[in-house]
Structure 1
């Protein structure tokens, strides 16, 4: 077996290229590095982004000989060395994530600053399935994979919602070299690092889609549990191409793996944007205007730590964060903040019925008196919003 030669695209940051850390992005089988384009644009404000293609995919030449995933990992290191070498972070999808696991378990693992394993696992499917697919592609070409891939790759509704992105992926499948695709399948049939992932010492994130038919939530949980200290993320309404379906979320997760990339001003700006989105401009403007020399540092602390560090994390969506926040506030009896976050929960997409269910749940775990007080606060918020709506409607009619 020989090590393939991989080709890719390096996108430098706008500032000093030599000072920016290198991030390598690995694709999934049957796709090219073009599917990383939106996430790469987000990440290129912080990293030198190096996207590579698998053998016979995109820019990389077809494979002349069989290879293993360890060979692909070695080829990634050779590509990194060709653009300057040194330390790097890595994020990969499906077979790209498996390559990342190989990197972390190889001597190159000492060079890895961070690893994001996306929609991937220490073993992907069974050997027979991969060998059958290799035979099918050799007999009928990659065109025979389009229907199955459209079902595996995307969450239900993604095709009609984003036909541009879906067609980009499926059309690209038709351009893949059949024999190289088959060789990738055969390499995956021999791939199994389940017994070794506990050896990974790199700062790691494990990311799966909630409706991914290839790597289930339970499989992602097991992988994360096996990798010491790993972070776990599940993306809502996401299939097997998380970097294409949720590029902004993936970019945020990857960037978060290297905290030093976020400057204090970045954290404050990001926190202020989320704070305004959740609480509303009017509330934030009032709080900012009311700040005194004695309270200004406290306002800054809230913006940076509550909103910049916690509410910006991609591990929970804002609906879930609102639900957790309401439960916590009711339990602690913080009634002014409860009213504020009832309105914020509505802004984050929770319905009044869902808010009532959350408060009903707190009656069991925080006590009936606390829930009773919370229902009173919510009733006042709903009444105020209804009155404001009626006023707006009356003004429109006149």
Structure 2
């Protein structure tokens, strides 16, 4: 069964209907107000929607079991009610798990960006969630207060912000017991670890160093599996979006560029390397400025940012196209980029062999010569890095 989740458009959101939609997902036991401080820092460039889980805040209670896939479908219903189309998503804890479900499932081709905050592709063990569901059905969410305050916040936060903690714990008590228990059971059945590597949305994983629910090591493993940027926040527990609202908002602003040019520039730097792009920008003249902006906005901001293909595949297609069109200077650049995107020397060799059949042996021969030079440069750079690392170790010894 697909439950109902209701959301509110942040009142300070951008009034520009062309502004990207950013959906903020909550942690279990919290309401959308917990996102308000961070959300207010994102509304200048986004239409920001904060939603509540079933039986939380403004979302109606439910008595029918549901899965994480059902919760993801409910979020899509909400997004479609706001006009549909592409959107960005950031979620904390259970909200982050919904984001992973969206990215690995029904919204994989609709997400422009994903932020997973204090969450994982599998959170805890099924037995723990079913046990908590039973406890809440017997004793209500009020029985969770003592354990929750220590689980949610880093040491010292309660002393620094007693009013914030008090409000959040009151919201927990007000949550519908059965809906909370059903959320626990949805988490008990949630495991997307095998699918994390298939997520193509541009992603960031944010963790707290004092989070006992999703540890720093677990968050780092998730980021590696997703190929995502990873950020660890100091002196932060399980509610990073609350404890570090300013920092989280700043990270989301950087991860979710407000326009196509900014998005393209980020990808361009990641693929071609920062120094190369800096050199290109330094060489801009009044005659080439518009062309450089065109490349960044349309090649990098419109095509390379699309979620339909991962960067390895895009590099493979680009290599073949450049060989076919005899663009040898660009080929050298993109052979370096392909290795940065994760293609191995052996895979690039196979791509050139395949290209030889359809683009012609002479062109492939030229491409292999360029690849040989690129591989040698890569090997030499790696050898220099190893030598520098050994030298640094010797100095420490």
Q: TM-score, normalised by structure 1?
A: 0.65
RMSD over aligned Cα atoms = 2.3
- Secondary structure of 1:9's counterpart equals strand
Residues 6 and 59, structure 2, Cα contact 8 Å, conserved in 1: yes
- Secondary structure of 1:232's counterpart equals strand
Residues 73 and 106, structure 2, Cα contact 8 Å, conserved in 1: no
> How far, CA to CA, are the matches of 2:24 and 2:204 in structure 1?
14
Aligned pair 1:226/2:225, yes or no?
yes
Per-residue CA distance 1:141-199 (angstroms, 9 max, x = gap): 00001111101000000000011211111111010000000000111111111111110
| Aligned equivalent of 2:233 | 235
Residues 13 and 46, structure 2, Cα contact 8 Å, conserved in 1: no
> How far, CA to CA, are the matches of 1:117 and 1:260 in structure 2?
19
| Aligned equivalent of 1:358 | none
> How far, CA to CA, are the matches of 2:393 and 2:224 in structure 1?
31
- Secondary structure of 1:101's counterpart equals helix
2:250 aligns with one of 234, 249, 252: 252
- Secondary structure of 2:200's counterpart equals coil
Shift of 1:262: 9.7
Aligned pair 1:112/2:111, yes or no?
yes
Distance 1:57 1:37, change over 3 A: same
> How far, CA to CA, are the matches of 2:394 and 2:145 in structure 1?
55
Shift of 1:239: 0.2
Distance 1:195 1:15, change over 3 A: closer
Residues 210 and 239, structure 1, Cα contact 8 Å, conserved in 2: yes
| Aligned equivalent of 1:372 | none
| Aligned equivalent of 1:299 | none
Aligned pair 1:27/2:26, yes or no?
yes
Runs (4+) off by over 3 Å: 12-16, 260-264, 364-368
Shift of 1:227: 0.5
> How far, CA to CA, are the matches of 2:209 and 2:197 in structure 1?
24
> How far, CA to CA, are the matches of 1:6 and 1:366 in structure 2?
54
> How far, CA to CA, are the matches of 2:198 and 2:253 in structure 1?
23
Equivalent residue pairs, number: 271
Distance 1:144 1:202, change over 3 A: same
> How far, CA to CA, are the matches of 2:213 and 2:233 in structure 1?
14
Distance 1:154 1:17, change over 3 A: same
| Aligned equivalent of 2:324 | none
- Secondary structure of 1:166's counterpart equals helix
Distance 1:44 1:64, change over 3 A: same
Residues 204 and 231, structure 1, Cα contact 8 Å, conserved in 2: yes
Shift of 1:366: 11
Residues 255 and 261, structure 1, Cα contact 8 Å, conserved in 2: no
> How far, CA to CA, are the matches of 1:14 and 1:96 in structure 2?
21
- Secondary structure of 1:108's counterpart equals coil
| Aligned equivalent of 1:48 | 47
Q: Which runs of 5+ in 2 are unaligned?
A: 263-390
> How far, CA to CA, are the matches of 1:263 and 1:105 in structure 2?
27
Shift of 1:16: 3.6
- Secondary structure of 1:19's counterpart equals coil
Residues 13 and 47, structure 2, Cα contact 8 Å, conserved in 1: no
| Aligned equivalent of 1:205 | 204
Residues 35 and 242, structure 2, Cα contact 8 Å, conserved in 1: yes
> How far, CA to CA, are the matches of 2:24 and 2:119 in structure 1?
14
Shift of 1:15: 4.8
> How far, CA to CA, are the matches of 2:215 and 2:130 in structure 1?
22
Distance 1:194 1:14, change over 3 A: closer
| Aligned equivalent of 1:371 | none
Residues 133 and 181, structure 2, Cα contact 8 Å, conserved in 1: yes
Residues 134 and 181, structure 1, Cα contact 8 Å, conserved in 2: yes
| Aligned equivalent of 1:132 | 131
| Aligned equivalent of 1:196 | 195
Residues 14 and 45, structure 2, Cα contact 8 Å, conserved in 1: no
Residues 12 and 48, structure 1, Cα contact 8 Å, conserved in 2: no
After TM superposition, the structure 1 = structure 2 runs for residues 1-398 of structure 1, keeping only pairs within 5 Å, are 2-11=1-10, 15-228=14-227, 230-261=228-259, 365=392
Residues 20 and 46, structure 2, Cα contact 8 Å, conserved in 1: yes
> How far, CA to CA, are the matches of 2:161 and 2:23 in structure 1?
26
| Aligned equivalent of 1:314 | none
- Secondary structure of 1:259's counterpart equals coil
- Secondary structure of 1:174's counterpart equals helix
